[in-house]
Amino acid sequence: MVHDSLRERFPSLSMSTVYATIESFLERGLIRQVSGRSGRLRVDGTPDDHDHAVCRNCGRVFDIDPGAIERPAKPLELPDGLRVTSLHIEYEVICRKCGGN
Ligand SMILES: [Zn+2]
């Protein structure tokens, strides 16, 4: 999608440049990866604390305002001495279009 939208202005832009750029944005925390189930790389341009719901049928990703629902408390530490810096929740859902309510 990123590649398609830039190709007109930058005809020589390669797919690998797009991936490399996205990777470096991910490393710097400018964007954040959304896992989903499709196997495609999905990224989110707003890395601040909000959650996602991913439709298990169509793969559409919804932003969920964490203030809107109660979230589990963030542990300070995980096994193996891993210090927790943030918590992101991904809900698996069926969206309205796909028959949920
Ligand atoms: Zn759906």
* Cα 29 to ligand 1 centre (Å): 28
Listed in order, strand segments (DSSP E) in 3-72 are 32-34, 42-44, 51-55, 61-64
Give the closest residue to 34 by CA, choosing from 58, 19, 54, 64.
54
Residue 64's pLDDT is what?
A: 86
* Cα 54 to ligand 1 centre (Å): 8
* Cα 59 to ligand 1 centre (Å): 6
* Cα 67 to ligand 1 centre (Å): 23
* Cα 99 to ligand 1 centre (Å): 8
Q: Which residues surround ligand 1, an ion (CB under 5 A)?
A: 55, 57-58, 95, 98
Residue pLDDT tens, the chain, 101 long? 888 888 888 888 888 888 888 888 888 777 777 766 666 777 777 656 678 899 999 999 898 877 778 877 777 888 999 988 877 788 999 999 998 55
Pairing state between β 32-34 and 42-44: antiparallel
DSSP 2: H
